[in-house]
Amino acid sequence: MVRTEDACEIIKYALQNEIKVYLDGGWGVDALLKRESRIHNDIDLFVELKHYHDYIYVIKQHGFEEVNTDYTTDGHTVWKDDKQRIIDLHCFEFTDDGIVYEGDIFPSKTFSGIGKVGDITVSCIEPLSQVMLHLGYEHDKNDVHDVMLLCETFQIAIPDEYKEK
């Protein structure tokens, strides 16, 4: 589990080493809301390719070890420490065309969100992109929770697949 104080500590690992991270997933949503709205199993962080291995070095120094998963790739790794805190780490590149992640290109504005975790101002995926990234797969209760809060807070139309039927 990753609580607010854990998220702050993990984010500070990057900040103290001049590595910019962008929050995604549940903590990305809660950063936009500026409060912890639910329990988090992990923290999803995007790190630019030029700093990816530097950040891995830093988290290893803090006791995190890589966990191989079905979805582990060169640009998406999972790290866990002895406190059972999990970092879901994503590697991306900024290009003239936008943000490149796992071969897909996203608009540069995707990472234009600004939020807060504890007392730390963070960069994150902006609200509409967060909602759009929650489409096209089987949703769990956390997905529904996150999307409904984003739509309500930022006046975004609720996507059809999230409307009660």
Q: Is residue 165 pLDDT above 50, yes or no?
A: no
- In angstroms, the CA 19 to CA 61 distance is 15
Q: In the prediction, which pLDDT does 163 show?
A: 87
Domain 4-126 in CATH 3.40.720.10? The answer is: no
Q: In the prediction, which pLDDT does 74 show?
A: 87
**Cβ contact 111:17 at 8 Å:** no
- In angstroms, the CA 8 to CA 6 distance is 5
Q: In the prediction, which pLDDT does 146 show?
A: 96
Could you read off the pLDDT of 53-105 as tens digits, one per residue?
Answer: 999 999 999 999 999 999 889 899 999 999 999 999 999 999 999 999 999 99
Q: In the prediction, which pLDDT does 164 show?
A: 72
Q: In the prediction, which pLDDT does 120 show?
A: 97
Query: Among 144, 140, 109, 141, which residue's Cα sits nearest to residue 127?
Result: 109
Query: Among 108, 87, 111, 86, which residue's Cα sits nearest to residue 98?
Result: 108
Query: Among 86, 78, 106, which residue's Cα sits nearest to residue 94?
Result: 106
Tokens of 122: 């963070």
Could you read off the pLDDT of 18-54 as tens digits, one per residue?
Answer: 999 999 999 999 999 999 999 999 999 999 999 999 9
- In angstroms, the CA 125 to CA 144 distance is 17
